[in-house]
Structure 1
């Protein structure tokens, strides 16, 4: 019998390509299916994006085809957001994607697109391939996306002006601190595109979501049982998480790990705001002063201003000049500031890491939770505001700033208070205990008879990927 073939389509940008590549690795290794990843590239000279694709290709678990995105300047307004541009690129690439599919010698029987690729679902002819959507985020985010077209019809005015949190069936209501940044202006093209994506998800044959049963049981149950939420999404939802990057090989001696090896167990706060995380000069200064004021050990991956798609704009000198005068000298031995790429999964795996000051991108969240590391939530954009609320109020593995860092500069005193709380105080130990329980449940989900393992095989049977 021929080996089944699954096609995965990844939208431009590291934050979209990496989760799809990891899903491909999981399908290949667990189900023993032939996987082709169609990576639609940004069209820019993003070295990081290219290196990531080439590194994934070298692993050999998936075939990877790069497909440059088409020009869409005539389809979007000047100054359009990155989200708008990505969605527009994906929608106009139907013929290019279908041509790539037809040119494959081994025809795929299943196509999986990410959230930005839902416009491609209509290219699949009935009976040719099963079509699925992969949500590399959590179940609450999926619920909001499929319910957004309903909110669009029933809510009057701008969401930001509504005083009462908006209700979503079987979920925590969406308040001002949870709104996606794509929802802040209903006249913006990116909002209209997101509403359209919410309508397109139920056009698939099902949805794969990067969470697991024990983490979000109530919402996942609501997707299955007869109710308003299941009537909106209509198709099966398969929780198959956590799918995260695994530990890779790190050559030693390596300065970061040499430094970490000298620190006490669970004594270091790891600070990293992702490839797209931007801080103002003032906020960078306050964060630095706060880390110093806390007296705690820290490892800070401090990057130059970076675009959402991962293209760095400057080097180490500008990064260093954004710190208080004499900071690096005063912190020598106490903290380590890294201005180049750092292996995050391996860092979070180190025994000296006691907390993670994170932008709360879902990939980073899962990398932290699967290592039992509590989070100091510092959400900046996209669904990160939702993630911060989920982590603090629902799962109980994080603390957060008093205001959204995207709205207000967080002062040094608050930074110091939060760092001390998560590393040294009793509240931090309680949160760490909860994070450890989540780590155990994440591992259990992928044991032979675990919830995510069973969910993946149930999906594979439905789309006839099993031999």
Structure 2
């Protein structure tokens, strides 16, 4: 209802505001994507405010510090952070499905946090925003039950690609309708024909979670749970995964919103716990001295590491290839532990004799890597990557082609998509596998295989480089007004407010 102001004019009715609670998985990659999605939402539509609930990992002090810095930041007046206490018992190494156990342990704290938010919104005389729903990370979907307890609508934020999402649904359907057990494909030469992929998927590139009998039931339950929500927001864009979107999701009753690429390209107050300005400046200075597109960048994500024998093979390949290189070298944690890799105080102790001296004019060894800053630098011409989804989106954004060397999670499938399905990368070893879900002996990737991949990656006039440059332009256009992701995000907002 409109009201008269003191001058006798008519004031506009007060805008009703709505609040969403975002629940990311505890990990910097998931949280940064969630924060960027929240920022995108509140900047796009001023009716929204977002509260982000942060859970902790007991073995990751840097992540804990990052969460603390977020709660102390002022990223946006319309984004708030709720930092939950650390639960040491949440990570029980004896649990068959650690991820499911972890989330179930945190459920009561999330329920209590939601109850307090609802109580404060109903008891405040200042007409606070109305809590309308949850957006839960792809691994936090059990929190949908908590939302249901309060009569809240729930959505999923899928931080990987639509290809992996479609495979998850396909595996769940095969199990429920045909009683096909995906663990039978372990160590087989089977090729799976999945409607959402243009080419058959070799069983050797299936993500480990589909091959582990203790874990696969939990992941299939994720898929079932997704179908109980109001929609799935995916960090991808239509032009990148158009075949999947057209062939699989047309027949899905659940709305899927590709709104990516959602990338964190700028540092802000929430990063001050991770500030490494001096290291970053040293890296930039070195890159500034290199010719355009001459450097191959090697980085394997926050969990990526290799044993000393494998590191020696990498060093041999780099030296023999003759290419300039920037290598993020990480020490592997003790076997059987879930600990993040650390840097080496003296890399010379684990590399081939004299390697650092012989390559001092063309190469640089680093520990931590400011990945987006490096990929954005004109001296970088190729990226040897583990194919985490965020890394793929970043490399495409900056037009840097990838040599695929997956390690864990869904990275083998991501690598298959990039190299075989889409022709946007080259192979080092698509079926390499080194994660705590697999008991198999890790197979060595030889210096010859690595060198072959690097040489293919760094070819100056390759067809792959041309296709990557084209996809880079498409990724940027997708976010512009009337672009595919911009429009899809608008449809998501309409669904929220319906």
- Aligned pair partner of 1:21 in 16, 31, 35: 35
- State the number of aligned residues: 449
State the shift of 1:242 in Å: 0.5
**In the alignment, what sits opposite 2:324?**
297
**In the alignment, what sits opposite 2:61?**
47
Q: Is the 8 A contact 1:223 1:236 kept in 2?
A: no
What's the TM-score once normalised by structure 1's chain length? 0.89
Give me the whole-angstrom Cα distance separating, in 1, the residues matched to 2:206 and 2:404: 16
What's the TM-score once normalised by structure 2's chain length? 0.84
State the shift of 1:225 in Å: 2.5
- Kindly indicate whether residue 101 of structure 2 is the aligned counterpart of residue 88 of structure 1: yes
Give me the whole-angstrom Cα distance separating, in 2, the residues matched to 1:360 and 1:178: 13
Q: Is the 8 A contact 2:304 2:341 kept in 1?
A: no
- Aligned pair partner of 1:204 in 223, 226, 229: 229
Computing the radius of gyration from Cα coordinates, the structure with the larger value is 2
SS of 1:317 mapped into structure 2: coil
SS of 2:84 mapped into structure 1: strand
**In the alignment, what sits opposite 2:45?**
31
Q: Is the 8 A contact 1:158 1:184 kept in 2?
A: yes
- Kindly indicate whether residue 184 of structure 2 is the aligned counterpart of residue 165 of structure 1: no
Give me the whole-angstrom Cα distance separating, in 2, the residues matched to 1:421 and 1:139: 28
**In the alignment, what sits opposite 1:436?**
469
Q: Is the 8 A contact 2:22 2:53 kept in 1?
A: yes
Deviations 1:251-303 (A, max 9, x none): 57811111100111100001001110121211111001100111000000112
**In the alignment, what sits opposite 1:390?**
417
Sort the Cα spacing of 1:166 and 1:59 in 2 relative to 1 into closer, same or farther, 3 A: farther
Out of 268-277 and 415-424, give the one that drifted further.
415-424
Q: Is the 8 A contact 1:276 1:309 kept in 2?
A: no
Sort the Cα spacing of 1:405 and 1:313 in 2 relative to 1 into closer, same or farther, 3 A: closer
**In the alignment, what sits opposite 1:239?**
258
Task: Name stretches of at least 5 consecutive residues in structure 1 with no aligned partner.
Answer: none
Q: Is the 8 A contact 2:290 2:379 kept in 1?
A: yes
State the shift of 1:391 in Å: 0.4
State the shift of 1:17 in Å: 2.4
Q: Is the 8 A contact 2:234 2:257 kept in 1?
A: yes
State the shift of 1:312 in Å: 4.2
State the shift of 1:66 in Å: 1.5
- Kindly indicate whether residue 349 of structure 2 is the aligned counterpart of residue 321 of structure 1: yes
Q: Is the 8 A contact 1:166 1:173 kept in 2?
A: yes
SS of 2:22 mapped into structure 1: strand
**In the alignment, what sits opposite 1:12?**
26
Q: Is the 8 A contact 2:293 2:382 kept in 1?
A: yes
SS of 2:488 mapped into structure 1: helix
Q: Is the 8 A contact 2:303 2:340 kept in 1?
A: no
Give me the whole-angstrom Cα distance separating, in 1, the residues matched to 2:341 and 2:419: 33
Q: Is the 8 A contact 1:13 1:309 kept in 2?
A: no
Deviations 1:121-141 (A, max 9, x none): 122238832210111111111
**In the alignment, what sits opposite 1:456?**
489
Deviations 1:231-253 (A, max 9, x none): xxx31000011001113388578
**In the alignment, what sits opposite 2:291?**
264
State the shift of 1:40 in Å: 1.1
Sort the Cα spacing of 1:400 and 1:63 in 2 relative to 1 into closer, same or farther, 3 A: same
Sort the Cα spacing of 1:223 and 1:4 in 2 relative to 1 into closer, same or farther, 3 A: farther
Give me the whole-angstrom Cα distance separating, in 1, the residues matched to 2:202 and 2:488: 31
**In the alignment, what sits opposite 2:311?**
284
Q: Is the 8 A contact 1:49 1:310 kept in 2?
A: no
Give me the whole-angstrom Cα distance separating, in 1, the residues matched to 2:292 and 2:471: 20
SS of 2:466 mapped into structure 1: helix
Give me the whole-angstrom Cα distance separating, in 2, the residues matched to 1:463 and 1:264: 49
Give me the whole-angstrom Cα distance separating, in 2, the residues matched to 1:301 and 1:377: 16
Give me the whole-angstrom Cα distance separating, in 2, the residues matched to 1:176 and 1:382: 15
SS of 2:21 mapped into structure 1: strand
**In the alignment, what sits opposite 2:157?**
134
Sort the Cα spacing of 1:417 and 1:225 in 2 relative to 1 into closer, same or farther, 3 A: closer
Deviations 1:121-162 (A, max 9, x none): 122238832210111111111111222222224325612155
Greater length-normalized contact order (CA 8 Å, ≥ 6 residues apart)? 1
Sort the Cα spacing of 1:347 and 1:454 in 2 relative to 1 into closer, same or farther, 3 A: same
**In the alignment, what sits opposite 1:330?**
358
- Aligned pair partner of 1:98 in 91, 106, 111: 111
Sort the Cα spacing of 1:76 and 1:148 in 2 relative to 1 into closer, same or farther, 3 A: farther
Q: Is the 8 A contact 1:5 1:109 kept in 2?
A: yes
State the shift of 1:463 in Å: 1.0
Q: Is the 8 A contact 1:358 1:376 kept in 2?
A: yes
SS of 2:227 mapped into structure 1: helix
Sort the Cα spacing of 1:310 and 1:268 in 2 relative to 1 into closer, same or farther, 3 A: farther
**In the alignment, what sits opposite 2:12?**
none
Sort the Cα spacing of 1:223 and 1:108 in 2 relative to 1 into closer, same or farther, 3 A: farther
**RMSD, aligned α-carbons:** 2.5
SS of 1:65 mapped into structure 2: strand
Sort the Cα spacing of 1:98 and 1:364 in 2 relative to 1 into closer, same or farther, 3 A: same
